[in-house]
């Protein structure tokens, strides 16, 4: 599965978005290819990682076959992983250290 990733601008992050993304990448290693989203690419899904509840990151310019997954809070990490699994038809054991 091919996933485009969009980060918010980071003006008011309430958690380390990079670490959260690293956890997501590690979980899907070998199953999902992630890249920073580009406008002229068709992705299986788009993952938008915001740092707070303002939800200001724009993502309408990206193309996706399936869905857009939004993550605005560190506590949403497990839910975000489960949603990506659902979209990709992937079921992996969730590590308890997330």
- Domain-wise residue ranges, the chain: 2-88
pTM over 0.85: yes
**Cα separation, 40 vs 63, whole angstroms:** 8
Compute CA 88 distance to the chain's CA centroid, rounded to the nearest angstrom: 13
Sign of CA dihedral 29, 45, 23, 79: negative
pLDDT, tens digit only, all 98 positions of the chain: 999 999 998 888 889 999 999 999 999 999 999 999 999 999 999 999 999 888 788 999 999 998 999 999 999 999 999 999 999 888 776 554 45
């Amino acid at each position: 599965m091919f996933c485009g990733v969009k980060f918010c601008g980071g003006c008011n992050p309430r958690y380390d978005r990079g670490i959260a993304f690293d956890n997501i990448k590690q979980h899907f290693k070998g199953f999902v290819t992630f890249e920073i989203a580009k406008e002229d690419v068709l992705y299986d899904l788009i993952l938008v990682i915001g740092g707070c509840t303002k939800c200001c990151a724009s993502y309408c310019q990206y193309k996706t076959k399936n869905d857009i997954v939004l993550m605005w809070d560190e506590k949403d990490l497990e839910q975000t992983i489960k949603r990506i699994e659902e979209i990709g038809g992937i079921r992996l054991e969730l590590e308890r250290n997330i």
